[in-house]
Amino acid sequence: MAKRIDVSGLSAYYGSHKAIDDISMTVEPRSVTAFIGPSGCGKSTFLRTLNRMHEVTPGGRVEGKVMLDAENLYGSGVDPVAVRRTVGMVFQRPNPFPTMSIFDNVAAGLRLNGSYKKTELKDIVEKSLKGANLWNEVKDRLNKPGSGLSGGQQQRLCIARAIAVEPQVLLMDEPCSALDPISTLAIEDLIGELKERFTIVIVTHNMQQAARVSDRTAFFNLAAVGQPGKLIEIDETERIFSNPSVQATEDYISGRFG
């Protein structure tokens, strides 16, 4: 179910502005990789290049290679729609479809990708909601609109929606930044469970969170405002937080800037 991501020489642009410059890294399957760094360093932009969401923004453009196992996401003939179906994404602010019920939200991706019998759909929705630790809270109101849930529940609903289509990779763009501490804890626990099945990449502003949930951590930085963001280093999370090999990483982690 989980695939390895190999990025080489990847740059991304907004129009003529270069947002990230020449990034190469490997993301291991069945592990959590965290991206940290100051605001504007391009970590979210980089995350969005991993499922070709970057090119959706007006003027967005990408150079370089992203290999998902043996396939280049940016190869010719590759359908971005198929890429996004394979690489799921959870956003900063929970975004359930406001007009759909909880059930329909989870089933939304499945309904796009094929026809299912009602019972199959029910099973997958239940499995996904259980996978997102939400089943017990919503099983009695599956037909209520998803927007009626609390922020933390909405975010877990979005995770259920993303894992329902059984993606290879799950990208999370600061999934807890709009949530309270208790909901954040629930999501972090969930990430720990999900990494058994998926390759997970998470962008976070919160260094404790990166230390808690991730196996490997990548530190991004930018030389100055307006300059493109760069990957400074990527390593085991423990090493990054105890004994990083680059001075800038240590400065950032110990709070000397950023």
Partner 1 sequence: MSVMTDRRPVADGGNPLPVSLKQARLPRWATPALALVAAGAGCGIGLGAGLDSTVQWGLIAALLFILGTFALAAGVEGARQAKDRLATCLVWVCFLLAVVPLASLLWETVARGSKVLDGYFLSHSMGTLPDAMPGGGIYHAIIGTLEQVGLAALIAAPVGLLTAIYLVEYGRGRLAKAVTFFVDVMTGIPSIVAGLFVLSVWILILGFGPSGFAGSMALAILMMPVVVRSTEEMLKLVPNELREASLALGVPKWRTILKVVLPTSIGGITTGVMLAIARITGETAPVLLLVWGAKTINNNPFEDAQQSLPLYVFQQWQQGSDASYDRAWAAALVLIAFVMILNLVARGIARWKAPKTNR
Partner 2 sequence: MTHSSSTADLPPLPQDDRSPVSGKAVRPGDRIFLGLSRGSGIALLVIMAAIAVFLTYRSVLAISGDKANFFTTLDWNATGTDPKFGIAVLAFGTVVSSVIAMLIAVPVAVGIALFISHYAPRKLASPLGYVIDLLAAVPSIIYGLWGALFLVPHLSGLYGWLDDYLGWTGIFSYSQGAARSLFTVGILLAIMILPIVTSVSREVFLQVPRMHEEAALALGATRWEVIRMSVLPFGRSGVISASMLGLGRALGETMAVATVLSPSFLINASLLDPGGGTFAQNIASKFSEADQFGQDALIASGLVLFVITLLVNGAARLIIARRKEYSGAAA
**Lookup: tokens for 31:** 């592990």
Please name every residue paired with 169 in a beta bridge, in sequence order, or none if there are none: 87, 199
178 binds partner 2 (CB under 8 A): no
Integer Cα distance of 186 and 183 in angstroms: 5
Contact pattern for partner 1 over residues 121 through 140, marking x by CB under 8 A: ---x----------------
**Lookup: tokens for 97:** 């479809």
Contact pattern for partner 2 over residues 75 through 94, marking x by CB under 8 A: ------xxxxxx-xx-x-x-
Integer Cα distance of 146 and 131 in angstroms: 17
Is-contact 7 65, C-beta < 8 A? yes
Residue 167 or 229 having the CB closest to partner 1: 167
Out of 8, 31, 95, 227, which residue is the one contacting partner 2 (CB under 8 A)? 95
Within 10 A of 225 (CB to CB), how many other CB atoms are there? 7
What is the DSSP-derived secondary structure letter of residue 256?
A: S
8 binds partner 2 (CB under 8 A): no
Residue 53 or 211 having the CB closest to partner 1: 53
Q: How far is CA 189 from CA 60, 186, 201, in A?
A: 34, 5, 15
Q: What residue ranges bind partner 1 (CB under 8 A)?
A: 68, 71, 73, 75-79, 81-83, 85-86, 112-116, 120, 124, 165-166
Q: What residue ranges bind partner 2 (CB under 8 A)?
A: 51, 53, 56, 58, 81-86, 88-89, 91, 93, 95-100, 108-109, 112-113, 145, 147, 158, 161-162, 165
